[in-house]
Structure 1
Amino acid sequence: MPTPRQFVTKRRVSIRGKPVEYTATAGETIVSNLANEPIASIFSFAYVRSNPGNAKRPVLFIFNGGPGSSSIWLHMGIFGPRRLVLDSEVNPSNTPPFGLQDNPYSLLDIADLVFIDPVGTGYSHAVGNARNEDFYGVDEDAESIARFIELWLTKNGRWNSPKYLVGESYGSIRAAVLSRALMGGVTYTGVMRGITLDGVILLGVALNAGVVAPPDAPRPNGPDPSAVTSLPSLAVTAWYHNRIARGGRDAGAIYAEATAFAKRDYADALARLGAGTLPEAEKLAIAQRLSDLTGLPAEAWLKAGLRMSVQAYGKQLLAPSNQEVGMYDSRYTLPLALSGGDPVSDDPAMGRYVPGFVASFHDMLKELKVDMPVPYGSIVWEGLNPKWNWVRAGVPAGQNFAGDLAIAMRRNPRLRVLSASGYYDMVTTPNQAEKDLRGSGAAPDRVFFRNYESGHMLYLGGTARLFADDVRAFVLDQLPPQGR
């Protein structure tokens, strides 16, 4: 095997008005299987504060989602010591030049940061007799990251440091699964690592994604529950774009109002509609209430059978002005016509901010003197995401990924979870995150929910400082149980 590449620089950043000196280590870690055969080179970016007391400083292990995404978004958007600068908080230009500056919101002053790129993303890849495809699955991916974390703790002498996982989107699933894989056991992983966590931080929470039900499972009765959990996101989107009467309500108030209606009257109406027992007069009244909340005519809701996907809504809300709203952040817009239909490149949000992230990241690579012979895979879809193995070993079929967190919290009475969501995120909604976590049986006094006036990347659009302050308070165990 070639010698793993390592790029080490000494740097300084100003955080909350104070200088922080640190060592940046970008490089490869060779991960082996239980037979001690090399199987993967996992690339990471570690930022460790220059401090003799580092052995007991908290460590945050950070990754994004996809599956197929590198850690570039959390790296450049909120946690890393250097941060992307866009020319506008919402609907920025997606052509250069883009800015790069010290990140005043980084947590490097109180915790060390390790950004991990799973196999198939970034510079990470299979080695030896292994193939990248060997890691494309829920258990396979989590096991490789668990082995990386175990090696990093050993190499850096950090076994007694408080440990946190930070995962966004599919990364929230990875974090939930890792909370069990790091402990290990006879029936799950087959290895008892004994690594416990102090906290798990979830963003763009997707704990209900990809769950594989047993073949003989009965089909659920009633309407698609996503119609209920997504309705508040439609309402707050209409509020933002001035398609409904605001009446002095802010985004949080309209979201709460729509949530109350969705959970009671709307859910009941959909159930009776499915059973054929909803009177026509009540159907008309529900359609009108939906119109008042979402800005679409009651006729549109009646035509849709009182159910509307977020994709259909995103194309209809601003159709009179020939605009489409983003799924990843519904504050963003692009022309409705001439879309190429790509779920990422043609999304009004992702298509706007991805180029800035990628460009600023490559500027940062120069600062860190990283010189790799292959391109960095920011998002790698082809051959990875469509092949993902969602079937798991040692876990009951159909178990929600929030169940992994609940089990880990039962084993570890000190484990806390922060669930962070954006009101304008139409892909992973705040209500779905809360439903999954509350329904898992996880200790309610150790699960903290926070919602922000942002989208899937909830640190964009003016909310970076607020979110960073909440994470800081969470790591310091000072976050109040109730909040936004």
Structure 2
Amino acid sequence: MATTFKNILCFSLLLLSLPLLAQEKKDSTKAVPPAKSFISSHQGTFGGKTIRYKATAKETHLKNDRDEAVASIWSVAYTQEGLTDLSKRPVTFVFNGGPGSASIWLHMGMFGPQIVKLDSDAKKDDGAAPYTLSENKYALLDLTDLVFIDPVGTGYSRVVGKGKVEDFWGLNEDAASIAKFMRLWITENKRWLSPKYIAGESFGTTRAVAVANALEGGGQNMALNGLILISQALDYDGSTSIHDNITSYLTYLPSMAATAWYHKKAGQGKTLEAFVEECRQFTYDTYAPALYRGTLLNSTAQNAIAEKLSYFIGLDKDYILKSNLTVLVPRFQKQLLADKGLAIGRLDGRFMGDEADDVASEPHLGDPSDYQLSSAYTAALNHFYASVLKVDMDRPYLTSNDEVGEKWRWRTVPDGKYWEPTPVNVARQLGETMRRNTAMKVLVASGYYDLICPFFDTEYTFARNGIVPERVTKTYYEGGHMMYTHEPDLIKLAGDIRKFLTE
């Protein structure tokens, strides 16, 4: 009898707990909050023309095959008002890189209607508030509408509902989500007949090529008119400074020479362009064969190469010999101005940081061309959102998110398919897309002092991979990775893009 009573009690408790278990299962997937939208009207002078435009800052829900929202993409669109024929009005989609960076840098530094003002000559830190925002008279709103996109995990963009970060944090996954967002935006805004461009920076150029490729599939082929690649990173062999990567020793050398010239450690009495060209020829004709010979070089040849490298990059010949004729970029950053106790920037070699440890093998504070700018950009964007666009969100805007990069999936094939890790390379995708889409053209903008994505790597990458050279324009600037922080380059880059969009 006691056992029967016990069984009845357990069964009763189980029945009582079932609704609670069902509720717990139901609550395991968070309810998807409504997408927020903030719309405002503005007027500004761009390219010498007065333009009335609408700013739409909003969340867009991406859905899975079961029509369930899985991600919320944050974007800010600036669209000209008063137009009747939208087929003549281009639209340019803009994003930065990382992976894990929001679009803040191109938004508040280059393309947006207002930009933050900083020391153009890289002599002063951004310091603390207040910072100065000004109307960006070089912005392109007289020529094209602009849509700034923050990929999932950056800005205000995030996974929602049943979404998982692994569905978005990967090379292919990221490209698919951005392509889906672009198609949604184009459809919602009735812009299928409008000319379409993508502008990306750094990993954003990797993304731009992958997205252009993704837009060809999915049963909704969207042909792009052009790509604007700022500080391109299509083949990571040429932008990864590590031991035994011969390609990187070659591609970084002219950027080191340009940076040494800037700091008056090399090439004095010559123009930057002439000195860079001299280094190009040495790299092609002498340095490359020497690197492939390695220890087969005799001591006389090694000394000759070391002397020439010292001439170009301003480091001591003995240090170069001890480095086996191959100086890694982080070591160059620390060594170039070692006599002054300063480390130079990686994103932009013009910047200098005073570090406590002067004998470290590489900068230990971080990148001065990053930490001397980021506070101003962050404050400027938050102020602009709140005060000008009237954005009111319930969470912080993530200008960058390290977790994205830490969990990023570089694998380019599905699980279960044989694959060995290789350097990231979407350059051949670009070549193939250009050959299928014979109207697509490409602008590649490179900074001489960029020690992340070197300008010589652009020349190396675009000379192969099936890329169509007749439809590629390469431009150069006396700045770094974000060349627009140097005001003369901002003006020149804006002019080069204007020419690209109108030719």
TM-score of the aligned structures, taking structure 2 as reference length: 0.87
Between the aligned partners of 1:470 and 1:380, the Cα distance in structure 2 is: 31
Between the aligned partners of 1:349 and 1:439, the Cα distance in structure 2 is: 31
**2:352 is equivalent to residue 333 of structure 1:** yes
> Counterpart in 1 of 2:381?
361
> Counterpart in 2 of 1:103?
136
> Counterpart in 1 of 2:122?
90
Between the aligned partners of 1:146 and 1:112, the Cα distance in structure 2 is: 18
Q: Tell me which amino acid in the other structure corresponds to 1:234.
A: M
> Counterpart in 1 of 2:113?
81
Between the aligned partners of 1:156 and 1:476, the Cα distance in structure 2 is: 23
Task: Identify which of 34, 58, 63 aligns with 1:3.
Answer: 34
CA distance 1:372–1:474, change in 2 (3 Å)? same
> Counterpart in 2 of 1:149?
182
> Counterpart in 2 of 1:449?
474
> Counterpart in 2 of 1:466?
492
- The Cα offsets for residues 275-302 of structure 1, whole Å up to 9 and x where unpaired, read as x331211211111111111111111111
**2:415 is equivalent to residue 392 of structure 1:** no
> Counterpart in 2 of 1:219?
none
Contact 1:91 1:349 (C-alpha < 8 Å) held by counterparts: no
How far residue 223 of structure 1 moved from its aligned partner, in angstroms, is 6.0
> Counterpart in 1 of 2:249?
227
Q: How does 1:229-244 map to 2 (within 5 A)?
A: 229-244=251-266
Between the aligned partners of 2:282 and 2:355, the Cα distance in structure 1 is: 30
Contact 2:118 2:485 (C-alpha < 8 Å) held by counterparts: no
How far residue 192 of structure 1 moved from its aligned partner, in angstroms, is 2.1
Task: Identify which of 187, 208, 219 aligns with 1:192.
Answer: 219
> Counterpart in 2 of 1:297?
316
How far residue 447 of structure 1 moved from its aligned partner, in angstroms, is 1.3
Q: Tell me which amino acid in the other structure corresponds to 1:251.
A: L
Between the aligned partners of 1:156 and 1:89, the Cα distance in structure 2 is: 41
CA distance 1:172–1:345, change in 2 (3 Å)? farther
SS state at 1:384 partner: helix
Contact 1:205 1:420 (C-alpha < 8 Å) held by counterparts: yes
How far residue 193 of structure 1 moved from its aligned partner, in angstroms, is 1.7
SS state at 1:414 partner: coil
Task: Identify which of 131, 137, 152 aligns with 1:119.
Answer: 152
> Counterpart in 2 of 1:216?
none
SS state at 2:374 partner: helix
Between the aligned partners of 1:459 and 1:323, the Cα distance in structure 2 is: 24
- The Cα offsets for residues 5-50 of structure 1, whole Å up to 9 and x where unpaired, read as 1000100111133321100000101111233221111000000011
SS state at 1:23 partner: strand
Deviates more, 1:133-142 or 1:46-55: 46-55
Q: How does 1:410-449 map to 2 (within 5 A)?
A: 410-449=435-474
How far residue 52 of structure 1 moved from its aligned partner, in angstroms, is 2.5
Gaps of 5+ in 1: 185-190, 212-221, 478-484
How far residue 88 of structure 1 moved from its aligned partner, in angstroms, is 4.2
SS state at 1:327 partner: coil
Deviates more, 1:122-131 or 1:33-42: 33-42
CA distance 1:156–1:434, change in 2 (3 Å)? same
Deviates more, 1:60-69 or 1:127-136: 127-136
Q: Which has the larger radius of gyration?
A: 2
**2:76 is equivalent to residue 45 of structure 1:** yes
Identity of matched residues, %: 41
Q: Tell me which amino acid in the other structure corresponds to 1:261.
A: F
> Counterpart in 2 of 1:33?
64
Contact 1:65 1:172 (C-alpha < 8 Å) held by counterparts: yes
Gaps of 5+ in 2: 1-31, 239-243
How far residue 345 of structure 1 moved from its aligned partner, in angstroms, is 6.6
**2:350 is equivalent to residue 318 of structure 1:** no
How far residue 448 of structure 1 moved from its aligned partner, in angstroms, is 1.3
SS state at 1:202 partner: strand
> Counterpart in 2 of 1:69?
101
> Counterpart in 1 of 2:371?
351
CA distance 1:126–1:258, change in 2 (3 Å)? same
> Counterpart in 2 of 1:54?
86
> Counterpart in 2 of 1:205?
232
* Corresponding residue pairs, total: 458
**2:205 is equivalent to residue 172 of structure 1:** yes
Task: Identify which of 427, 434, 442 aligns with 1:402.
Answer: 427
RMSD of equivalent CA atoms: 2.1
- The Cα offsets for residues 49-102 of structure 1, whole Å up to 9 and x where unpaired, read as 112333431110000000000000000111111111114441333222211111
Deviates more, 1:234-243 or 1:333-342: 333-342
How far residue 372 of structure 1 moved from its aligned partner, in angstroms, is 0.3
Between the aligned partners of 1:34 and 1:52, the Cα distance in structure 2 is: 35
Task: Identify which of 278, 291, 301 aligns with 1:270.
Answer: 291
Contact 1:315 1:336 (C-alpha < 8 Å) held by counterparts: no
Q: Tell me which amino acid in the other structure corresponds to 2:394.
A: P
Q: Tell me which amino acid in the other structure corresponds to 2:374.
A: V
- The Cα offsets for residues 343-366 of structure 1, whole Å up to 9 and x where unpaired, read as 897211001111111111111112
Contact 1:56 1:158 (C-alpha < 8 Å) held by counterparts: no
SS state at 1:44 partner: strand
Between the aligned partners of 2:85 and 2:122, the Cα distance in structure 1 is: 40
Deviates more, 1:388-397 or 1:401-410: 388-397
SS state at 1:359 partner: helix
Task: Identify which of 299, 305, 314 aligns with 1:280.
Answer: 299
**2:279 is equivalent to residue 258 of structure 1:** yes
CA distance 1:473–1:40, change in 2 (3 Å)? same
